[in-house]
Amino acid sequence: EVQLVQSGAEVKKPGESLKISCKGSRDSFTSYWIGWVRQMPGKGLEWMGVIYPGDSHTKYSPSVQGHVTISADKSTSTAYLQWSSLKASDTAMYYCANSDSSSSAWFDPWGQGTLVTVSS
Amino acid sequence: QSVLTQPPSASGTPGQRVTISCSGSSSNIGNNYVYWYQQLPGTAPKLLIYRDNQRPSGVPDRFSGSKSGTSASLAISGLRSEDEADYYCAAWDDSLSGVVFGGGTKLTVL
**For residues A38-61, average pLDDT:** 96
Listed as ranges, residues in chain B with pLDDT below 70 are: none
Whether the predicted pLDDT of A57 surpasses 80 = yes
Q: Exposed/middle/buried for B13, CB within 10 Å: 0-12, 13-18, 19+?
A: exposed
Distances, alpha carbon A23 to alpha carbons A77, A96, A110, B27, in Å: 6, 9, 11, 33
pLDDT above 80: residue A26: no
Instruction: For residue A111, give the DSSP letter.
Output: -
CB interface of A with B, residues 25-44, below 8 Å: 35, 37, 44
Question: How much of chain B exceeds pLDDT 70, in percent?
Answer: 100
Summarised one tens digit per residue, pLDDT across range A60-80 is 999 999 999 999 999 999 999
The chain B residue lying nearest A61, using CA atoms, is B98
Q: Is the pLDDT of residue A1 over 80?
A: no
Q: In b/e form, how buried is each residue of B51-75, taking b as 16+ CB within 10 angstroms?
A: ebbebeeebeeebbbebeebbbbbe
Q: Is A7 on the interface with B (CB under 8 A)?
A: no
Confidence of residue A31 (pLDDT cuts 50, 70, 90): confident
Per the CB < 8 A criterion, the answer to whether B34 and B52 are in contact is: yes
Measure CB to CB from residue A105 to each of B46, B92, B104 and give the nearest one.
Answer: B92
Interface test with A, best of B9, B52, B99 (most A CBs within 10 A): B99
Q: What are phi and psi of A74, to 5 degrees?
A: -60, -35
- State pLDDT tens for residues A34-43: 999 999 999 9
State whether residue A73 sits within 8 Å of chain B by CB: no
